[in-house]
Each structure stands twice: as C-alpha cells, then as structure tokens.
C-alpha cells in the first residue's frame, strides 16, 4: 500500500518518523492543533522526495559554470540572468544565437507604458552586478519555522517587526533594503524586461508555471535577509492563513498603525474584523454571511477538484518566445488574486497590495505569499510520497537571480525548489477545513441544458463579457467509465480571454446552474473563476483557463448528458474583457 512518510520534531529537537496510509493521510491533514501563543510549537514536517528523470539529469549536466555550456532550452529569468549572463558567454560562442541569450540590462524598461506609450511614474530596475554565483543550498543545521499568523504570539511579532524596521533602515541602494526588495517583484511582474533570447517578447513570471518556484525563491531570500538582520537563523515568515476561517481576518499586528508592518494604502473597510473574500471583486461584494462557506468551496476547487493535471495547478508552460500570460494555475487566478485585490487600496489602481508593481511595498504581501507557498507544499503532499512534477528541462533548469542575505547576486534554479525542507524551512500544521468540503449540487439530474434555449457555443464566440453569457457546450465523450476517468480528466477550456493587464478583472463560471444566484459559490454547479489584479505597465494579452469537470459532472449526476449549460458571470471588468471560445477537452 502506498504511504506518505512524515517526520515529526518538537521544539526541543526530539524527532521521530512514521508513515500514514492513504486512509489515515486525510485524517492527518485535518488533525487538530493546539492554539499557540508563543513561538515554539511542535512541528509536523512533510518530507517529499522527487525524481526528475534522466532527461533532466543530462540537461543539467550541460548547464555548468563553464561559459560555453549553456543549455539552449534553458530559460534565463531573474535580475542577474537578464543582464549577467551576457558576461558569461564568450562573444564567439554559438550559444550567443540561442534563445538562452540574456537581454542587456540597459534594456530594462524605465518608464513607458507598453499600451499607451505614455511615461510611467515608476522605476523598478534593480542594482547592477556582474559578479554572479551559482547558488548551492546550504546544509540545514537549524530549520526555519513559519507560523500561522493568527497563532504567532507577541515574542514572534516583536522579532518580525524589528526585522522589518531594520530592513527599512538599510541604505536605499542596498539590494536588501525594503524598497529594493519590493522592486524585485515589480521588475519581474510588470513587463520590465525583454525575454531572454527573444527581445520581441516581455518577461512575466505570473500566469504560467514559473509562479510557484519564482515566488518560493523570492520569499526564501527575503526571509534569510530578515533573519540575518536580527541574528536569528531560525526566523521564518508568518503565513496569512486565509484558507482557514480563523485566519480569514487580517492578522492584528498588520493593522496596528504604530507597527512597521502597517501600510496606509490598504482598503480601510477591510481592516479587522472584516473577513477576506476569496472571490473578491469591488463591484460585486459578497454577502458577509456567505464568505466563509464560499471561501471553503473556492479552496476545495483550487486544491482538489480542478487540479488533477499539473498544468491546472502550476499554470501553462512558458519558455523563450512565449507571449506573457499563457494561462494561470488554479490558486494563482483565484484566492491569490482575490487576497491582493481585497487588501489593496480602494481605488482603480489598487495600490499597494492590489497592483503588481507596488505589492511588495506592503509587508503583508510576504505573509500572503507565504501562505500561497504553503499551499504548494500541501498540494504536493496530498499527491503522495513521490508526487509527479514536470520532467522537462525547460522548467527544472529555468533559473532566476536574487540578491542573498549577504548582498551577493546568486543564480538559482527551479529544480531546487521542490522540497521546502531541503531549503531549510517548515510550516506550522493547522487544520485544512476545505479538504473534505466537497460541494453539493443544488439540483441533481438537471434538465436545464435541454430547456434553457441557450445558443450553441460555436455560434456565440468571440463575445464581450459585458453581461452574463450562457451557452450550450457539446461533450465529445459521455458516459465515461472509471478507467476512462483515471486515464483522462474532462476539462472545460475557456480560451482567448482578452484583457488589458492594467485592469482588475473577475468572472465566475457555472455549469447547469438552475439557481442563477451568482453570489453563492458553495455549490457543485460552481466550476471556477478567472481574475487578475492591475499591472502598472499594461499590455493586451490573450490567455485561457482550464476547469476540471470529471468530479463536477459526477456530483450533478449528468455524466450521460451530451450538452452542458455553461454560464459566464462577469463580476468586474467584463465590459473590457472578451472571450474567444469555450470547448471541452480530455487530457
């Protein structure tokens, strides 16, 4: 029987190991934990091992420190990767003509909106250094501990506030300073650079398979900088536990106006005790009494229902030559975006948290993304002791550069992010109330697809999403067997989603929904959503999302139906959003 191996260690360093069967694994992930008031709770550590495959092994052997051994498939991403790799490749090397060539730092965009061509009032280009070191994960001597923000006590927050204050006091040109660290996110998420190897395309690490690994490295160095500033090698960032009802309120210390964790550019209506809405849109606020149940349904969809395939959790593949925003994964386009928009200033631009260029200027950004990172660890753990990941070198050998805690520019790779314990940190274990929260249908065996009178999808698109759009989508296969379902996931693909990245956008998707109550997401008819927060530097993009249907159709008891009624419900920005088409595929 397959097992998942876990190690346990208490604050005194005593450790033991045990295994959980699949039947007990679910119980472990939902087990109760004591309420903590200090900073030394017991730790449950999820140990995950990964097999990358021989193709990755051979690919990585071609990417050594030698200047002439750059893998042509490798995607050079990151501060130094974009301006430093040119110094690593001899001028007569054939690699100069490959897609791995690094853009010159002089091409860093310093102030022109790509859509409007008007000047921007932001410059997030980083300090320049040509001294780049290939980073090797150091041996883990003491594990860093990342606590749930709502459970961490005064002793912990005293350390955290001191660390942030010291970071803010660093010289402005120190790459470890608060604003320089905020600019790291701005540079890679605001279309600042040309892509390595393809100057016609802009670099964007969001809305693709780089979302999780890039942000993991970002948090890793941010955390190490803070720890060094206070002389605590065990210091870990807190995670804003918004996937749990007890953590859906903004953590108190972040709302204290006298704290260095406070940011005045937040939505003042969303300070405690307001509940974070994981389906947030300013133009369509949810009823307060529906937020918790909606949130748990959203989390179940993002972490369980819609993520049978790697692309659907990680996001679409993104290599040199790919246009920005090929397709976001489930968490990225859902709860992640909602928390950004909900927290940011109540203005169209959404600053600070509500706009990608400025979001790193709010200390709560790092607690927010630490929870996103935690969800990645949990999702991989739920998939077994050896969860499947991409084996392509285009992902595993992609690399980014960051300044470390010593202000040294270092190159890091995706393949080193797949085990958080090897990176030296663990998460406090808390309940996962969404894990068993499979939504129930409002109506089973609905005949609404037959009686709605909605037009066929292929007669409607492309269409502007300035109103609710209902279409009938034909299923290429029906009455699928258990083996069919194990072999292929049935997916609803909404493609050609054309948006301006400067706008906040959200729409929800329902299947065979007779209730027609778009405020209620806690039902099996809710298939998922698409959302984005604004970027300072805007560009028109076409993207897509994929929503899992296999479990949803079982719940609705319509697996024998030939057609489904799909409803697209705009919540914000629909008047400036168009949809190219809808179809069902099997993958």
Active site residue 356: yes
Residue 93's CB is within 10 A of a number of other CB atoms, namely: 15
211-229 and 178-189 helices, crossing angle to 10°: 170
pLDDT at 110: 65
Active site residue 185: yes
479 and 367 assigned to the same domain: no
408 against 112, higher pLDDT = 408
285 band by pLDDT with thresholds 50, 70 and 90: confident
- Given 44, 369, 504, 510, which residue is catalytic? 369
How far is the C-alpha of 133 from the C-alpha of 408, rounded, in Å? 8
106 band by pLDDT with thresholds 50, 70 and 90: low
How far is the C-alpha of 196 from the C-alpha of 322, rounded, in Å? 11
* Domain endpoint, select from 427, 461, 492: 427
**Which residue positions form the known binding site for Cu cation?**
185, 206, 215, 336, 340, 369
How far is the C-alpha of 495 from the C-alpha of 325, rounded, in Å? 12
Give the pLDDT mean for 244-265: 98
**CB-hemisphere CA count at 13 Å for 421?**
15
Backbone conformation region of residue 476, classed left if phi is above 0, alpha if psi is from -120 to 50, else beta = alpha
The structure tokens 């051979």 sit at 58
Nearest to 389 by CA among 163, 148, 213: 213
Q: How confident is the model over 132-170, as pLDDT tens digits?
A: 899 999 999 999 999 999 999 999 999 999 999 999 999
253 against 319, higher pLDDT = 253
Residues 6+ apart with CB under 8 A from 369: 215, 218, 219
* Domain endpoint, select from 427, 456, 489: 427
107 band by pLDDT with thresholds 50, 70 and 90: low
- Given 44, 52, 215, 244, which residue is catalytic? 215
- Given 313, 356, 365, 526, which residue is catalytic? 356
pLDDT at 438 over 70: yes
CATH number assigned to the domain comprising residue 132 = 1.10.1280.10
Q: Highest mean pLDDT: which of 40-49, 76-85, 103-112, 551-560?
A: 551-560
16 and 160 assigned to the same domain: yes
487 and 558 assigned to the same domain: yes
Percent with pLDDT over 90 in the chain: 68
pLDDT at 130: 84
Peptide bond into 352 cis (omega under 30): yes
112 band by pLDDT with thresholds 50, 70 and 90: low
* Domain endpoint, select from 396, 427, 458: 427
Q: How far apart are the first and last CA of the chain?
A: 27
374 and 465 assigned to the same domain: no
- Given 44, 185, 270, 368, which residue is catalytic? 185
Active site residue 35: no
216 and 154 assigned to the same domain: yes
Active site residue 215: yes
- Given 44, 340, 368, 535, which residue is catalytic? 340
193 and 79 assigned to the same domain: yes
Backbone conformation region of residue 253, classed left if phi is above 0, alpha if psi is from -120 to 50, else beta = alpha
Residues forming a β-bridge with 411: 134, 401
584 band by pLDDT with thresholds 50, 70 and 90: very high
194 and 305 assigned to the same domain: yes
Active site residue 210: no
Q: Flag whether 443 is in a domain.
A: no
Q: How confident is the model over 498-514, as pLDDT tens digits?
A: 999 989 999 999 999 99
**What pTM was computed for the model?**
0.84
Q: Flag whether 252 is in a domain.
A: yes
Q: Flag whether 18 is in a domain.
A: yes
How far is the C-alpha of 49 from the C-alpha of 56, rounded, in Å? 16
Q: Flag whether 58 is in a domain.
A: no
How far is the C-alpha of 67 from the C-alpha of 82, rounded, in Å? 15
Q: How confident is the model over 353-382, as pLDDT tens digits?
A: 999 999 999 999 999 999 999 999 999 999
Q: Flag whether 54 is in a domain.
A: no
pLDDT at 116: 72
If one counts the domains in the chain, the total is 2
259 and 405 assigned to the same domain: yes
The answer to whether the CB of 552 falls within 8 A of the CB of 441 is no
Q: What Cα–Cα distance (Å) separates residue 316 from each residue in 73, 93, 208, 357?
A: 17, 32, 5, 22
How far is the C-alpha of 306 from the C-alpha of 549, rounded, in Å? 8
CATH number assigned to the domain comprising residue 543 = 2.60.120
**Which residue positions form the known binding site?**
185, 206, 215, 336, 340, 369
188 band by pLDDT with thresholds 50, 70 and 90: confident
Q: Flag whether 264 is in a domain.
A: yes
Backbone conformation region of residue 496, classed left if phi is above 0, alpha if psi is from -120 to 50, else beta = left
102 and 212 assigned to the same domain: yes
Residues 6+ apart with CB under 8 A from 361: 178, 179, 182, 263, 265, 352
465 and 423 assigned to the same domain: no
> SS3 for 483?
helix
Residues forming a β-bridge with 146: 427
301 DSSP 8-state letter: I
Q: Flag whether 525 is in a domain.
A: yes
Give the pLDDT mean for 399-425: 94
- Given 44, 336, 368, 535, which residue is catalytic? 336
211-229 and 154-168 helices, crossing angle to 10°: 90
Percent with pLDDT over 70 in the chain: 80
408 and 481 assigned to the same domain: no
pLDDT at 485 over 50: yes
Q: Flag whether 390 is in a domain.
A: yes
Active site residue 340: yes
Q: What Cα–Cα distance (Å) separates residue 181 from each residue in 10, 125, 136, 417?
A: 33, 11, 21, 20
313 and 365 assigned to the same domain: yes
Active site residue 368: no
Q: Are strands 490-500 and 581-586 parallel, antiparallel or unpaired?
A: antiparallel
Sheet holding 43-46, edge to edge: 15-20, 4-9, 43-46
Owning domain of residue 111:
4-32+40-48+66-427
């Amino acid at each position: 029987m397959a097992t998942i191996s876990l190690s346990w260690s208490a604050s005194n360093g005593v450790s033991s190991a045990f295994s959980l069967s699949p039947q007990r694994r679910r119980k472990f992930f939902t087990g109760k934990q004591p309420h903590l008031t200090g900073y030394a709770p017991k730790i449950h550590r999820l140990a995950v091992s990964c097999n990358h495959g021989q193709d990755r092994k051979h690919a990585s052997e071609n990417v050594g420190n030698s200047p002439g051994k750059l893998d042509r498939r490798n995607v050079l991403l990151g501060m130094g990767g974009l301006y430093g790799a040119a110094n690593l490749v001899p001028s007569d090397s054939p690699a100069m003509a490959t897609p791995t060539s690094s853009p010159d730092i002089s091409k860093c965009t310093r102030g022109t909106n790509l859509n409007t061509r008007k000047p921007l009032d932001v410059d997030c280009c980083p300090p320049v250094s040509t001294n780049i070191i290939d980073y090797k994960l150091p041996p883990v001597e003491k594990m860093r501990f990342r606590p749930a923000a709502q459970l961490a006590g005064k002793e912990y927050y005293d350390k955290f506030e001191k660390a942030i204050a010291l970071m803010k006091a660093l010289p402005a040109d120190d790459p470890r300073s608060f604003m320089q660290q905020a600019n790291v996110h701005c540079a890679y998420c605001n279309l600042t650079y040309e892509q390595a190897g393809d100057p016609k395309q802009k670099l964007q690490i969001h809305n693709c398979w780089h979302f999780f690994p890039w942000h993991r490295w970002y948090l890793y160095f941010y955390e190490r900088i803070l720890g060094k500033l206070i002389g605590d090698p065990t210091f870990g960032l807190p995670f804003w536990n918004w996937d749990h009802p007890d953590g859906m309120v903004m953590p108190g210390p972040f709302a204290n106006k006298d704290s260095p964790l406070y940011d005045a550019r937040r939505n003042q209506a969303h300070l405690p005790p307001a509940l974070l809405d994981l389906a947030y849109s300013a133009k369509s606020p949810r009823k307060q009494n529906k937020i918790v149940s909606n949130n748990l349904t959203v989390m179940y969809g993002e972490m369980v229902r819609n993520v049978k395939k790697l692309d659907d959790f990680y996001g679409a593949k993104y290599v040199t030559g790919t246009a920005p925003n090929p397709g976001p994964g489930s968490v990225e386009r859902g709860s992640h975006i909602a928390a950004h928009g909900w927290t940011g200033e109540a203005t169209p631009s959404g600053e600070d948290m509500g706009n990608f260029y400025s979001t790193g200027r709010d200390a709560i950004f790092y607690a927010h993304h630490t929870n996103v990172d935690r969800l990645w660890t949990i999702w991989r753990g739920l998939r077994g002791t050896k969860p499947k990941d991409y084996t392509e070198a285009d992902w595993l050998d992609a690399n980014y550069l960051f300044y470390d805690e010593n202000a040294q520019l270092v190159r890091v790779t995706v393949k080193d992010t797949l085990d958080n314990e090897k990176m030296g940190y663990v998460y406090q274990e808390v309940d996962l109330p969404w894990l068993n929260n499979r939504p129930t249908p409002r109506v089973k065996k609905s005949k609404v697809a037959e009686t709605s009178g909605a037009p066929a999808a292929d007669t409607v698109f492309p269409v502007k999403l300035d109103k609710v759009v209902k279409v009938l989508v034909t299923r290429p296969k029906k009455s699928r067997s258990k083996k069919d379902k194990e072999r292929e996931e049935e997916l609803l693909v909404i493609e050609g989603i054309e948006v301006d990245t400067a706008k906040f956008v959200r729409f929800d998707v329902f299947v065979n929904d007779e209730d027609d109550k778009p405020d209620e997401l806690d039902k099996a008819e809710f298939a998922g959503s698409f959302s984005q927060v604004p970027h300072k530097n805007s560009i028109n993009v076409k993207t897509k999302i994929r929503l899992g249907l296999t479990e949803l159709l079982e719940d609705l008891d319509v697996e024998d139906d030939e057609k489904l009624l799909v409803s697209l419900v705009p919540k914000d920005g629909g008047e400036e959003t168009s949809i190219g088409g809808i179809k069902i595929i099997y993958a």
